Amino acid sequence: MHNSSGSEKLLSRGMMAVIAAQFLSAFGDNALLFATLAVLKNQVYPDWSQPVLQMVFVATYIILAPFVGQVADSFAKGRVMMVANGLKLLGALTICFGFNPFIGYALVGVGAAAYSPAKYGILGEITGGETLVKANGLMESSTIAAILLGSIAGGVLADWNLTGALIACVLAYGLAVAANVLIPKLAAARAGQSWHPLRMSLSFFHACRELWRNGETRFSLVGTSLFWGAGVTLRFLLVLWVPVALGITDNKTPTLLNAMVAIGIVFGAGAAAKLVTLKTVGRCMPAGVLIGVAVVFFALQHTAAGAYGLLIVIGMLGGFFVVPLNALLQMRGKESVGAGNAIAVQNLGENGAMLIMLGLYSLAVKLGAPPVATGVGFGALFALAIAVLWGWQLAQHRHTRVGK
């Protein structure tokens, strides 16, 4: 009996509204990135401004990190998601009406930063216990589907009609706001906290310290940060790698290769939901090391079929690696500093890693490192970093066992 009630709870009206809002919001984000890149080309911005667009977005996350967790925990999370999607809508309209695309995209970044802790934090409020890993799997799958469809729609529509592409993004955000209205109004997790900026920053850094002190949450933070930093860098690496390794110079191929990773992540996330529980999180570590190994093999590919196949494998390993780490952080975070705060700390880590890795990657490109060599070095370093993290986690386990 217990099992059926779990699945009913997983597919409740509130949960469906959260998943729909998440899908539409992520669809808008990804379509808008490619549409805005087309706007930059159209208005003849220099090439180096393209990664800068991504960096503006990431920077808003980092600047707002101390505040968004508290916002998510101080109000009903469904309403926070609605306001955040409203900000994204405003940003998309700004770009649509021909204002500065960087300002518009920064507004979308502010919305995204506020949205993230609320959307993950609400999962723990709508579902509980064992259903949480499954709910995370659903959330990841809908996000990946949105990334896939959004990226392709953004690129294809921008080629066909740029204004049409931007209007599609505005519509997606509008529908996301509508879906947010259907989320039941839950009580605020931690109402009545101080809104003094310095105090909020101190409380955020206190949350950082708490999560960093706990062996399990530290392990989760480092793992997910490495993974997403590497993911964003791989996205940009593909653009330079494809013409060199495969001799294909169109815009479509890198987008489709990115899509392969996303498809793989869905399968990996599904496998993790079946095979990993919060007690057996260590099972995901070998997959993390293998991601790096697969990237090395990928960088040395010269056939399109091999490249597509390996990227699906990288995605599967990635999904299997990252989903249990997310669930672990939410559960332990909820118990210690509040789920919203835990996710905000995680966002700071992930976006910090993205900024550093994108920066190093741009530097490698500027210094003229060939894309294949960059890919090999990148994969090897990633495998090494996860192996070190795994060893560290095992040593800690042994230490706590001896301590007991």
> pLDDT tens for residues 205-257?
888 888 888 877 888 888 889 888 888 888 778 777 888 888 876 656 777 78
Position 25 scores a pLDDT of 92
Check whether 358 has a pLDDT greater than 50. Answer: yes
Are 166 and 32 found together in one domain?
A: yes
Q: Which of 139, 164, 189 is the last residue of a domain?
A: 189
Q: Is the backbone of residue 98 left (phi > 0), alpha (psi -120 to 50) or beta?
A: left
Domains contained in the chain, number: 2
Position 171 scores a pLDDT of 92
Check whether 8 has a pLDDT greater than 70. Answer: no
The 10s digit of each residue's pLDDT in 112-163 is 888 877 776 777 777 666 677 777 778 878 887 888 888 888 877 877 788 8
CA–CA distance from 89 to each of 25, 38, 85, 323 (Å)?
9, 19, 6, 29
Report the Cα 194 to chain-centroid distance in Å.
29
Are 17 and 105 found together in one domain?
A: yes
State the Cα–Cα distance between residues 300 and 383, nearest whole angstrom: 16
In this structure, what CATH number is given to the domain that contains residue 292? 1.20.1250.20
Split at pLDDT 50, 70, 90, the class of 317 is very high
Place of tokens 């196949």: 309
Q: Which of 189, 210, 233 is the last residue of a domain?
A: 189
User: What does the pLDDT average to over 189-203?
Assistant: 70
Are 173 and 313 found together in one domain?
A: no
Position 314 scores a pLDDT of 93
- Please provide residue 186's backbone torsions phi and psi, each rounded to the nearest 5 degrees: -90, 160
The 10s digit of each residue's pLDDT in 331-350 is 887 787 777 677 778 888 88
Are 381 and 332 found together in one domain?
A: yes
Angle between helix 215-246 and helix 197-213 axes, rounded to 10 deg? 90
Measured over the CA atoms of residue 178, residue 32, residue 84 and residue 149, the dihedral's sign is: positive
Joined tokens for residue 258: 């990115």
- The proportion of the chain whose per-residue pLDDT surpasses 70, expressed as a percent, equals 89
pTM higher than 0.75, yes or no? no
Are 167 and 242 found together in one domain?
A: no
DSSP state, residue 98: T
Which has the higher per-residue pLDDT, 10 or 165? 165
Angle between helix 304-336 and helix 197-213 axes, rounded to 10 deg? 110
Are 227 and 169 found together in one domain?
A: no
Split at pLDDT 50, 70, 90, the class of 191 is low
Are 229 and 182 found together in one domain?
A: no
Q: Which of 157, 189, 221 is the last residue of a domain?
A: 189
Which has the higher per-residue pLDDT, 399 or 351? 351
Are 135 and 72 found together in one domain?
A: yes
User: What does the pLDDT average to over 8-14?
Assistant: 66
- Please provide residue 200's backbone torsions phi and psi, each rounded to the nearest 5 degrees: -65, -40
The 10s digit of each residue's pLDDT in 298-312 is 998 888 889 999 999
The 10s digit of each residue's pLDDT in 40-85 is 877 767 656 667 788 888 888 888 877 777 777 777 777 888 889 9
Domain extent at residue 154: 1-189
**Strand blocks (E) in 25-77:** none
Q: Which of 173-182, 217-226, 272-281, 372-381 has the lowest mean pLDDT?
A: 272-281
Position 3 scores a pLDDT of 45
The 10s digit of each residue's pLDDT in 29-52 is 988 987 887 788 777 676 566 677
> 91-100, 175-184, 337-346: which has the highest mean pLDDT?
91-100
For the purposes of burial, counting CB atoms within 10 Å of the CB of 46, is it exposed (0-12), middle (13-18) or buried (19 or more)? Answer: exposed
Are 31 and 60 found together in one domain?
A: yes
Are 333 and 213 found together in one domain?
A: yes
- Candidates 34, 285, 254, 294; CA nearest to 151 is 34
Which has the higher per-residue pLDDT, 170 or 120? 170
Are 57 and 135 found together in one domain?
A: yes
State the Cα–Cα distance between residues 171 and 356, nearest whole angstrom: 33
Q: Provide the mean pLDDT of the chain.
A: 81
Position 117 scores a pLDDT of 73
Are 64 and 137 found together in one domain?
A: yes
Check whether 4 has a pLDDT greater than 60. Answer: no
